[in-house]
Amino acid sequence: MAITEHTNSRRKFIKQSAVGATGLLLLPSFLKASRGLMTGANEKVNLACIGIGNRGGEIIAEFGKTGLANIVALCDVDMGAPQTVKVMNMFPAAKRFQDFRKMFDQMGNQIDAVCIGVPDHSHFPITMHAMMLGKHVYVEKPMARTFRENELLMKAARKYKNVVTQMGNQGHSEANYFQFKTWVEAGVIKDVTKITAHMNSPRRWHGWDPAIKNFPAMESTPASLDWDLWHSAVRKQHNYNRDFVNGQWRCWYDFGMGALGDWGAHILDTAHQFLDLGLPEEVNSLKSTGHNNFFFPMSSTIEFKFPKRGDKPPVTITWYDGIDNLPPIPEGYGVSGLDPNIPPPSTGTLEPVKLNPGKIIYSKDLTFKGASHGSTLSIIPEQKAKELQSQLPQVPLSTSNHYKNFLLACKGLEETRSPFEIAGPLSQVFSLGVLAQQTNGQLKFDRAKKKITNHSLANSLLEGAPPRKGWEQYYKV
């Protein structure tokens, strides 16, 4: 596939859509002056789905359950894989594409919104393309892979003000979101000084050799897969190997963000938002078992230091991942049973989980424990929780799950709970954590200038490698 095949028509379309630096758009007819407002409250949202296998297929099914979406297009770089064929059979009337750029070129005026369930390294260009055309965007977590890409997407969200955005950390629309918000507002959660976050389930790379010297050997590319397009804007090209696709991409620094990028947004999202953490001033790699230059460590301990924010004290978050890298458990923690509301890690292994993915939150007066996704917090020890039970505020129920919330926002009926202005800084925290893992060092971060001040290589990685030819336009907002 020629990279420049659609460049001229695409540039012309984007040029016609975006007007100058004011951020004004010649928006499609379904958008009105108010963000997300459509012509009729009873109309369905015409949704195009990009990345339709595995996790992408799960997202599409969830949107379908809402009854608010009309799936008009399906797009994937491998439209012949079993997992994509399964989804295509679910929506036979949807038009099919292998290249998202062709999809927008051919039926852009028939699309209201997109959902994006592709590997981390492809989130950014697809999301940016959609926003440039005035399409509402639901993109899986993390919002983007690099610090700069997240920064540009936040900038684009400010520019294209009528575009509704939502990052796919679905717990942000469930019980934990409303409980954390209510408890902070009521003063139950206050003066937090320390958070322990942990994800100790086995990961795909735990069976690999960390003494690796080269990337995996070249294998025959499946005939249905456009391997060139799979790389998206990544300049560094790789030979095809099965350990780069179908979830394996998460293992490699070039494409994914490891356990932190995968689970961090399901564990730390509410604490980050409602404690106003923003960006850290220091990130330290405390443990990196099996560190190498290709894929993520077998186990990691990463320390994030956040400064005082107004009257809120400094907070230290310590992240633990790895099978045998369990965090210290406080007295009175109790039993950690497996929560049925937490999706199992997609590792392909049957090794039992020793500790639920989750967090322990320490304040000056109280300690809380919680799992991931929408699971609620508990005050520990149990006796303390019983003493405070009658004083706890009533927590409102969610009006919509994450998928319905996005579609209702597209219709102008709700505000999204994880828009880019909220999700962007959270994703940048994880980008900084990955850089600490990758460099296996201590990073000092200037929050105002958004620069790493003590490590020139890590600072250059904030920006990342320039995109390959034909993809530069997405990096200009």
Average pLDDT over residues 26-55: 67
How does residue 346 score in pLDDT terms, banded at 50, 70 and 90?
Answer: low
Out of 3-12, 29-38, 359-368, least confident range: 29-38
473 found inside a domain: no
d(CA 5, CA 225): 18
Whether residue 219 sits in one domain with residue 181: yes
How does residue 30 score in pLDDT terms, banded at 50, 70 and 90?
Answer: very low
Whether residue 243 sits in one domain with residue 164: no
Per-residue confidence (pLDDT) for residue 92, from 0 to 100 = 95
Average pLDDT over residues 176-186: 98
Whether residue 356 sits in one domain with residue 309: yes
Whether residue 358 sits in one domain with residue 319: yes
Given a cut of 60, is residue 13 above it in pLDDT?
no
Q: What percent of the chain has pLDDT over 70?
A: 87
Given a cut of 80, is residue 103 above it in pLDDT?
yes
Amino acid code (one letter) for 102? K
Structural domain boundaries, residue 81:
7-172+407-420
Whether residue 353 sits in one domain with residue 210: yes
Whether residue 162 sits in one domain with residue 260: no
Q: What percent of the chain has pLDDT over 90?
A: 83
How does residue 332 score in pLDDT terms, banded at 50, 70 and 90?
Answer: confident
- Counting every residue written for the chain, the total comes to 477
311 found inside a domain: yes
CATH number at residue 390: 3.30.360
Average pLDDT along the chain: 90
Structure tokens at 163: 């575009």
Please state the φ and ψ torsions of residue 287, each to the nearest 5 degrees: -150, 135
Query: Which position has the token pair 């086995």?
Result: 202
Query: Apex CA 43: angle with CA 41 and CA 44, to 5°?
Result: 120
pLDDT tens column, 245-285: 999 999 999 999 999 999 999 999 999 999 999 999 999 99
Whether residue 42 sits in one domain with residue 142: yes
Whether residue 385 sits in one domain with residue 239: yes
Whether residue 245 sits in one domain with residue 277: yes
Whether residue 124 sits in one domain with residue 206: no
Neighbours of 217 (CB within 10 A): 8
Distance between terminal CA atoms of the chain? Answer: 27
Per-residue confidence (pLDDT) for residue 344, from 0 to 100 = 57
3-state secondary structure of 88: helix
d(CA 117, CA 56): 4
d(CA 107, CA 125): 18
Long-range contacts of the stretch 153-158 (C-beta < 8 A, 24+): 153/124, 153/127, 153/128, 153/420, 153/424, 154/420, 154/421, 154/424, 154/425, 155/477, 156/128, 156/131, 156/132, 156/420, 156/477, 157/131, 157/419, 157/420, 157/421, 157/424, 158/23, 158/421
Given a cut of 70, is residue 29 above it in pLDDT?
no
Per-residue confidence (pLDDT) for residue 20, from 0 to 100 = 34
**DSSP structural state of residue 418:** S
33 found inside a domain: yes
Question: Total domain count for the chain?
Answer: 2
Given a cut of 80, is residue 299 above it in pLDDT?
yes
3-state secondary structure of 57: helix
Average pLDDT over residues 130-134: 98
Whether residue 165 sits in one domain with residue 209: no
pLDDT tens column, 369-386: 999 999 999 999 999 999
How does residue 355 score in pLDDT terms, banded at 50, 70 and 90?
Answer: confident
CATH number at residue 151: 3.40.50.720
Its pTM stands at 0.90
Average pLDDT over residues 436-440: 97
Given a cut of 50, is residue 21 above it in pLDDT?
no
Whether residue 162 sits in one domain with residue 179: no
Amino acid code (one letter) for 283? V
Given a cut of 60, is residue 39 above it in pLDDT?
no
Higher-scoring residue by pLDDT: 80, 22 = 80
469 found inside a domain: no
